[in-house]
Amino acid sequence: MQRRNLMKAAALAAILGGAGAAYAQDADKKIIGVSIPSATHGFMGGLNWHAQDSIERLGETYPQLEFVLSTAGDAASQVSDIEDMMATRNIDALVVLPFESEPLTAPVAAVKDAGKFVTVVDRGLSQDGIEDLYVAGDNTAFGRVAGEYFSENLEPGSKVVVLRGIPTTLDNERVEAFQAALEGSEIEILDMEHGNWNRDDAFTVMQDFLSKYPEIDAVWAADDDMAIGVLEAISAAGRSEEMWVIGGAGMKQIVERIMNNDPQLPVNVTYPPALISSAIEMTALNFVSNAPMAGRYIIGSQLITPENAEQFYYPDSPF
Amino acid sequence: MKPDLHTLGPLIALIALIVLGALLNSAFLAPANITNVLARSAFIGMIAVGMTFVITAGGLDLSVGSMAAFLAGIAIIAMNAALPGLGENWGTILIGMGVAILGGIAAGYLNGALITKARIEPFIVTLGTMGIFRSLVTWLADGGTLSLDYGLRTLYRPVYYGGIGWVTWPIIAFALTAFAGEWIMRHSRFGRHVEAIGSNDRVARYSAIDVGRVRLLTYMLLGLLVGLSTVLYVPRLGSASGSTGVLWELEAIAAVIIGGTALKGGRGRVWGTVVGVLILSLIDNILNLADLVSPYLNGAIQGVIIVLAVVLQREKRTADER
Amino acid sequence: MTVLALHDVSKSFGPIEVLHDVDLALDSGQVHALIGENGAGKSTIMKILGGFLDPTEGQILLDGKPVRFSSGPEAEAQGIVVIHQEFNLAADLSVAANVFLGREPGGLRLDHKAMRRDTAALLARLDTQISPDTLIRDLSVPDRQMVEIAKALSRNARVLIMDEPSAVLTHREVGTLYDQIDRLRADGVAILYCSHRLDEVAHLADRITVLRDGLVVRQAMRGEMTEDDMAAAMVGRELQDFYPPKGRPSQDPALDLQGLSVPGRVHDVSLTLHRGEVLGIAGLVGSGRTELAEGIVGLRSATGEICVNGQKVAIRNLRDAFDAGLAYLTEDRKEAGLLLDKGLTQNLTLADLPRFGLWRLDQRAETEALAHATQEFDIRAPDPAMIAGKLSGGNQQKLLLAKTMLPDPQIIIIDEPTRGIDVGTKQQIYAFIRRLADEGRSLIVISSEMAEVIGIADRVLVMREGRIAGEVTGKDMTEDKIVRLAMGVSGEAA
């Protein structure tokens, strides 16, 4: 009993303290809250880095802006984060990359109803018209661009295998677009398994593909973390000459190898974690410029080739 | 030591899986595939052998997966840091190995000391250190991936991929660990003490066994084995990140239980654990090799087999009591 | 009037017949004592009466009509309640919650008020001070037994089957138990009372049935059998000299305590144990006897001086005590003495493993040690590969004694040497104790059974509230003197 009261008191103190801090702030200052999933794998790590990087940059450029960044391990704690931002920091705008669409829809709608500016990144909410600004990568294009490269660069009758991500809508969109782009090319998809956007899992799955299929011409790994695991499995099996691999998302090590004309990694497809930067920047512009920002911005997926690789290379990013 | 259904159950399941795999795909019994399956079992396998001791003594360690990621991270950092001074040679790699192994023992000591000296529940302690190790490696990697220098990696690579013929080093290390573990559990004083403590720690105390020390040693042994498996893991992909070793702790615990070690402690079967690890890897392998079910259901198949293995053993146990 | 009866009941487990043509009648308002050595079939009879086992042949008659219970709860619904030796209480629940466990009154919400009220009424009927809201874990053992009885009463027990109810009680507490039994008897409850304590049986029972090897060997009414008769009927031979003759201890001190204290439990105890002596320690439960023993051997932290053979020794843990030649046989055989789910060999050698190899344990030598111990201490194990939990209580105690003696200690402290074991085995254990003393070892025997301490010890120290209250020797070793010292009753001191 006593302990519970103590904890209540502590929580109350935290809330009061937070509120006090909020009131103490300069009235002209605008606060932008940024809520993203925590860095559990490479892509999200990159996204976190870009978010921090652009917050730092924008904070220096526009002293009248203040940023609050929170990262959450699951949808429920992300909801709590957003509620805390509203209650204790009195934010003026929210940039959110929803962990999952459904559970975040109502809390984000509540933020909007409170008259705040809302930017949704990458994963749409399950209800249209809540957000002022929507910034996303193009999953369909991500699959299509890769698929088109396969159908243009492989002989008819070639055999490929596919590593999928964690089973989600996003993954389904990519894979369906990839399959659609291969249609009519007479390229055979031997097998698809989930590598969960994880190096170790991709390594295991690829080892088993290599045992199962004596002939594979190319691999669509759909993610650069998975591509690294796949490449390792191929080289361990001594079949590096036989096939090439296309990953995705533009990890710096992979881009570097493309720049160096690695025959095993001819190209890559972007799905840049930097899209969070665009979203934060556009939200900031809404407050510092006179042009109101609104609408939907889809950042297309591009093909990284040895010729253009340099412009996709961020040596400081951890991703 | 009469073999009964109880101990044979998991072995029969393993044989059944092998037969099933061979029938479904001829590539299954190819040496390359066998090497793959055994080598990738090695990390979890060595950890699970250590976990067998911890569980048999009535403990639990949820932190091993995160610990492996953390050890891989600090080993990579240490090697990269030593590279400019020592150069691209085995000396540098030995430093990395040493960091992983000593780090493992230290991490095990941390868990064990909190449990035996501060007297906190193993579940809580290792749940805490699980989060700590995982965050530390994510932090060290800046949310991304820690990669070993390319040249060192090339030198270090044979530790995972090389070996004697098709028997690669991880397989050898796993086999040696299993033999040593079985010997210690069956034939040494330490093993007898571990079983006694798990069976009834009060009886152990009244038999002049230093219960706290033996428990602490089980966690340190597990830490050592996590360190050893990290030594084998790093050369495989040459990297560590926040997603390294995710859920290894549950796989290791599942393997221990499938093998017939009682979760409440008191009865340890190292051979059973080895069989349990192989069962778990084979399910994955077979599901990848054969298109039996939708890949969405892979987890369900594993779940069914784990529960089934434990149910079979329990029925045997109640039959004993009649 | 007979409430529950067995008629020509036999029971076999596979080819082994454990009960043969047993007739037994429980009358309302009567206490029927069932006695016999361990393994005679008492627990099988209790299980059949309680609905836990079916007879292979014969009938169970309830109010004269044949019945068949498919389970314990079904028998309970008919008013037949068993109070097991290991209580069936949930330690973390309150007294009231335990009394009504499984048949809680109220709909969706429990009727706490009614439960508390009814429990309080039951406890008042038993004349105890227990509060219905106390947690079982906070109750003393005799109070827990009262709760068991209250639970039985709440089920409107017509037949109460009690398995060794006094085994866990001290002298004074047994008195309260007798009062409760008298009360129940006056209420018309039929009671089956199983016990190893023949003095109790003689005192309580209206009727006595003696069981040996699954056969009823004798039935008698109150006053028809003396304790000696009962013992003789149980073991099937005359019991001459139940206790071995006293020894002739030397005057060399083997163990010398100066001002030993265990914080909060034992205060400033000094005593000397001579070589070849059996020193008894008596006293009520809670008087600090066990704590003193555990303080000596390093299981509890203690202050004071301990000298072994005139040499001062530092004992910080049990290992130090072993090294000084001391050993301690715990009173709690099942929870601190033996690993019940492990084999006999593992149990025997657990405290002395270094003897069987520095690195690799020599399992052949362990097996030989078991063979030797089985012979020396007459451990009757049907299968040497069996687990300790499957042994009868008496054989478990012998195994524990063998385990304690394996390191060859010179000073042995035995706490409750014969708790819950049968007469025949008791006699054997007494003989072992005396033999060890005659070999020149020194023993301290702690016991709650007055007759036992007097019978086995050369000299008795009585403890009270953590201190030595007095010493009795020779002709002064009588129950009366010991009880006076133990209870602190002044008057004519010994």
SS3 letters for B221-247? HHHHHHHHHHHHHHHHHCEEECCCCCC
Using alpha carbons, select from C425, C421, C423 the residue that is nearest to residue C393: C421
Query: What strands, in cross-sheet order, belong to the sheet with A65-72?
Result: A65-72, A30-37, A93-96, A117-121, A133-137, A295-299
**CB neighbour burial string for C408-442, b if at least 16 within 10 angstroms, e if fewer:** ebbbbbbbbbbbbbbbbbbbbbbebbbebbeeebb
Q: Chain A: nearest CA to B41, how far in angstroms? A: 11
| pLDDT over 70 at C240, yes or no | no
Secondary structure (3-state) at C318: helix
For residue C438, what pLDDT band results from cuts at 50, 70 and 90?
very high
Give yes or no for B288 touching A (CB within 8 A). yes
Better pLDDT: C199 or B43: B43
- Residue B145: strand pairing partners: B241
For residue A114, what pLDDT band results from cuts at 50, 70 and 90?
confident
- Note whether C68 and C89 are within 8 A (CB): no
Spatial separation of the C-alpha atoms in residues C263 and C269, rounded to whole Å: 12
Quick check: A203 and B237 CB within 8 A?
A: yes
Spatial separation of the C-alpha atoms in residues B196 and C350, rounded to whole Å: 8
Residues within 8 A of C (CB atoms), B 239-278 only: 266-267
| pLDDT over 90 at C175, yes or no | no
Question: What is the pLDDT at residue B136?
Answer: 94
Question: What is the pLDDT at residue A249?
Answer: 82
- Phi, psi dihedrals of residue C59, rounded to the nearest 5°: -130, 150
**Where does residue A155 rank: exposed (0-12), middle (13-18), buried (19+ CB within 10 A)?**
exposed
User: What is the mean predicted confidence (pLDDT) over C474-483?
Assistant: 84
Give yes or no for A199 touching B (CB within 8 A). yes
Question: What is the pLDDT at residue B198?
Answer: 94
Using alpha carbons, select from C54, C20, C66, C214 the residue that is nearest to residue C9: C20
This model of the complex carries an ipTM of 0.84
* A with C: touching (≥3 Cβ pairs within 8 Å): no
End-to-end CA distance of chain B: 21
**What residues have CB less than 8 Å from C72, skipping those under 6 apart?**
C50, C51, C52, C82
Question: Percent of chain B scored above 70 by pLDDT?
Answer: 95
| pLDDT over 70 at C354, yes or no | yes
Quick check: B206 and C322 CB within 8 A?
A: no
Query: What strands, in cross-sheet order, belong to the sheet with C442-446?
Result: C326-329, C411-415, C442-446, C278-283, C459-464, C467-473
Quick check: B207 and C350 CB within 8 A?
A: yes
Using alpha carbons, select from B105, B5, B17 the residue that is nearest to residue B287: B17
Other beta carbons less than 10 A from residue C283's beta carbon:
30
Sequence letter at residue A300: G
In this structure, what token pair is assigned to residue A299?
């950042």
Secondary structure (3-state) at B118: coil
Question: Percent of chain B scored above 90 by pLDDT?
Answer: 58
Using alpha carbons, select from B82, B236, B240 the residue that is nearest to residue B162: B236
Q: Chain A: nearest CA to B288, how far in angstroms? A: 6
| pLDDT over 70 at C494, yes or no | no
Spatial separation of the C-alpha atoms in residues C33 and C185, rounded to whole Å: 13
Using alpha carbons, select from C69, C54, C44, C57 the residue that is nearest to residue C7: C57
Quick check: B141 and A318 CB within 8 A?
A: yes
User: What is the mean predicted confidence (pLDDT) over B206-210?
Assistant: 92
Question: What is the pLDDT at residue C239?
Answer: 54
Could you tell me the CA-to-CA distances from A219 to A231, A233, B67 in Å, in that order?
10, 12, 32
Q: What mean pLDDT is reported for chain B?
A: 89
Question: What is the pLDDT at residue C262?
Answer: 93
Spatial separation of the C-alpha atoms in residues A87 and A22, rounded to whole Å: 10
User: What is the mean predicted confidence (pLDDT) over C218-246?
Assistant: 80
Reported in sequence order, the residue ranges of C184-342 that DSSP labels E, i.e. its strands, are 190-194, 207-212, 215-221, 253-262, 266-274, 278-283, 303-308, 311-313, 326-329
H/E element holding C184? Answer: helix C171-186
Spatial separation of the C-alpha atoms in residues A19 and C472, rounded to whole Å: 78
Q: Which residue has the tokens 């049935």?
A: C209
| pLDDT over 50 at B2, yes or no | no
User: What is the mean predicted confidence (pLDDT) over C107-114?
Assistant: 82
Spatial separation of the C-alpha atoms in residues B111 and B114, rounded to whole Å: 5
Q: Chain C: nearest CA to B189, how far in angstroms? A: 6
- Residue C360: strand pairing partners: B188
Residues within 8 A of C (CB atoms), B 107-166 only: none
Question: What is the pLDDT at residue A23?
Answer: 41
Specify which of A56-65, A292-301, C35-44, C316-325 reaches the highest per-range mean pLDDT: C316-325
Q: Which residue from C337, C341, C353 is facing B199, i.e. has the nearest CB?
A: C341
Could you tell me the CA-to-CA distances from C4 to B21, C8, C159, C215 in Å, in that order?
62, 13, 8, 19
Sequence letter at residue C17: E
**CB neighbour burial string for B153-179, b if at least 16 within 10 angstroms, e if fewer:** bebbbebbbebeeeebbbbbbbeebbe
Sequence letter at residue C252: D
In this structure, what token pair is assigned to residue C118?
């009814």
Question: What is the pLDDT at residue B4?
Answer: 57
Quick check: B145 and A318 CB within 8 A?
A: yes
| pLDDT over 90 at B122, yes or no | yes
Q: What mean pLDDT is reported for chain C?
A: 87
Tell me which chain B residue has its CA closest to the CA of residue A231. Answer: B237
Secondary structure (3-state) at C415: strand
Using alpha carbons, select from A227, A232, A33, A28 the residue that is nearest to residue A146: A227
| Alpha carbon A15 to its chain's center | 32
Q: What share of chain C is helix, strand, coil (3-state, %, to 5)?
A: 35, 25, 35
What is the total residue count of chain C?
494
| pLDDT over 90 at C124, yes or no | no
Task: Identify the DSSP state of C71.
Answer: S
Of A305-319, B161-175, C227-241, the one with minimum mean pLDDT is C227-241
Question: What is the pLDDT at residue B212?
Answer: 95
Give yes or no for A139 touching B (CB within 8 A). no
- Residue A36: strand pairing partners: A71
For residue B141, what pLDDT band results from cuts at 50, 70 and 90?
confident
| Alpha carbon B228 to its chain's center | 10
Q: Which residue has the tokens 């250590």?
A: B50
Chain A residues whose beta carbon lies within 8 Å of the beta carbon of residue B236: 203, 232
- Residue C409: strand pairing partners: none
- Note whether C222 and C49 are within 8 A (CB): no
Chain B residues whose beta carbon lies within 8 Å of the beta carbon of residue A38: 138
Instruction: Tell me the pLDDT tens digit for each residue of C371-423.
Output: 999 999 999 888 888 899 888 888 999 999 999 999 999 999 999 998 878 77
| pLDDT over 50 at A10, yes or no | no
Quick check: B203 and C346 CB within 8 A?
A: no
In this structure, what token pair is assigned to residue C178?
């007798």
Better pLDDT: C191 or B9: C191
Give yes or no for B156 touching A (CB within 8 A). no
Sequence letter at residue B185: M
Question: Alpha-carbon torsion C438, C443, C444, C447, what sign?
Answer: negative
End-to-end CA distance of chain C: 49
Cα angle B256, B262, B266 (rounded to 5 degrees) comes to 115
Chain A residues whose beta carbon lies within 8 Å of the beta carbon of residue B29: none
Using alpha carbons, select from C103, C160, C92, C79 the residue that is nearest to residue C126: C160
Using alpha carbons, select from A73, A74, A81 the residue that is nearest to residue A34: A81
Question: What is the pLDDT at residue B276?
Answer: 92
| pLDDT over 80 at A225, yes or no | yes
- Note whether A66 and A29 are within 8 A (CB): yes
| pLDDT over 70 at B316, yes or no | no
Query: What strands, in cross-sheet order, belong to the sheet with C31-36?
Result: C80-83, C159-163, C190-194, C31-36, C207-212, C215-221
| pLDDT over 90 at B286, yes or no | no
Question: What is the pLDDT at residue A12?
Answer: 43
Using alpha carbons, select from B197, B192, B208 the residue that is nearest to residue C366: B192
Using alpha carbons, select from C161, C91, C152, C94 the residue that is nearest to residue C126: C152
- Phi, psi dihedrals of residue B244, rounded to the nearest 5°: -70, 135
User: What is the mean predicted confidence (pLDDT) over C250-273?
Assistant: 93
Q: Is the pTM of this model over 0.90?
A: no
| pLDDT over 50 at B54, yes or no | yes
| pLDDT over 60 at A17, yes or no | no
Query: What dihedral angle (degrees, nearest 10) is formed by the CA atoms of C464, C465, C468, C469?
Result: -40
Q: Checking DSSP bridges between strand A93-96 and strand A30-37, what pairing results, if any?
A: parallel
Of B2-16, B58-72, C366-380, the one with minimum mean pLDDT is B2-16
